[in-house]
Structure 1
Amino acid sequence: MAEAMSTAPEGESRAEAYARLHKEIASVVAGETSETARFATAACLLSHAFAPRYFWTGFYQVDPAKPQELVVGPYQGTLGCLRIPFGRGVCGAAAQTGETQLVADVHAFPGHIACDARSQSEIVVPVHRADGTLAAVLDVDSSEKNAFDETDKIGLEAICKTLLTA
């Protein structure tokens, strides 16, 4: 059964929006055992909440057959790259280091992978399973430089921290 997406109250700050979405995503995926369904839900709700600032929102999952590669998972936006090796580009850096990558200007990031020429800034957040293993990274791109800041980092990290563990 499809769930209705909430609408942002007038005057809601980004921090408040992330807190609302965190609760909403947790509520919708509660009891869901499929990682794919959880990722698809989060990508959809985040994309719709922050469009057009988010023009690509999705997950690159660790490939079980090639554990040092990410493969595109559920996303909202234009065609994504199919595979990204750990250590390559912003997503690969997040996968390799296990740390969020907040990039104000992707063209200044060494080894940036241009899946869409409109991408100007990006934030990538690791997603871990309850046992601590890396399952995926959440990748959000914007067509604006400096589109993401500490508020986005805190909000997205909170969502990703509980996405597979709640």
Structure 2
Amino acid sequence: MAEDLIISGESKVEKYENLLPQLKGLLSGEVNKIANTANLCAALKTTFNWYWIGFYWVDTPDELVLGPFQGPIACTRIKKGKGVCGTAWETEKVQIVPDVEAFPGHIACSAFSKSEIVLPVWQGDKLIGVLDVDSDTLDSFDAIDEKYLAKICEILVHTF
């Protein structure tokens, strides 16, 4: 059944490698952005049990708006250049933050968030939003996460 993930692998790489084909299957045949981003967040939360996983979508020329997510209540709108998400959007670059308290201008949606990775989501050559992942432990994210989360975003945007 498409709703059942098989979580396997000891290492982060093994978990990602096992998750990728399952995500392709889960998202294939569905073109609705809300449905696919909601399922993607649930799959990542189930696999890695990160504190918060979600999307922010470009809503106006200077503001992101909250999309589907898994985790506690989140900030609804983020200005371009503000916080980790707004910085990733403005610079069009992945942001890996080992300690969010040390990030200038960090927006504290939750005091429990300790580290974060934010990836721009591209549809063709247009940045349409960001994928935001928070951990409740310091230094949780690295180049492995960047590589695989970018692949996951590519799988996602080809569905809508």
TM over 0.5: yes
C-alpha deviations, 1:94-117, integer Å up to 9, x for none?
111111110000011111000001
The structure-2 alpha-carbon separation of the partners of 1:145 and 1:26, relative to structure 1 and needing over 3 Å to count, comes to same
Q: Which moved more, 1:23-32 or 1:138-147?
A: 23-32
Aligned residue number for residue 92 of structure 1: 86
Using the alignment, how far apart are the partners of 1:78 and 1:152 within structure 2?
A: 22
Residue of 51, 68, 71 corresponding to 1:55: 51
Total equivalences in the alignment: 159
Cα displacement (A) at 1:58: 0.6
| Per-residue deviation, residues 1-35 of structure 1 (Å, max 9, x unmatched) | x72322323x4321121122222112111132211
Match in the other structure for 2:38: 40
Structure 2 CA distance for aligned equivalents of residues 20 and 126 of structure 1: 23
TM-score, reference length from structure 1: 0.90
Are 1:143 and 2:132 counterparts?
no
Report the counterpart of residue 72 of structure 2 in structure 1: 78
Q: Distance in 2 between matches of 1:19 and 1:69?
A: 34
Equivalent position of 1:158 in the other structure: 151
CA distance in 2, matches of 1:31, 1:96: 32
Distance 2:23 2:129 in 1: 17
Deviation at 1:150, TM superposition (A): 1.4
Name structure 1 gaps, 5 residues minimum: none
Q: Corresponding residue for 1:111?
A: 105
Deviations 1:56-75 (A, max 9, x none): 01111111xx1321101000
2: CA distance between counterparts of 1:4 and 1:36?
16
One-letter code of the match for 2:115? Answer: S
| Structure-2 separation of matches of 1:138 and 1:117 | 20
Unaligned runs of at least 5 residues, structure 2: none
Q: Distance in 1 between matches of 2:108 and 2:134?
A: 11
Question: What's the TM-score once normalised by structure 2's chain length?
Answer: 0.93
Paired with 1:59 and 1:5, the residues of 2 have a C-alpha distance of 22
Poorly superposed stretches of 4+, deviation over 6 Å = none
Q: Secondary structure of the residue that 2:62 maps to in structure 1?
A: strand
Q: Equivalent residue for 1:124?
A: 118
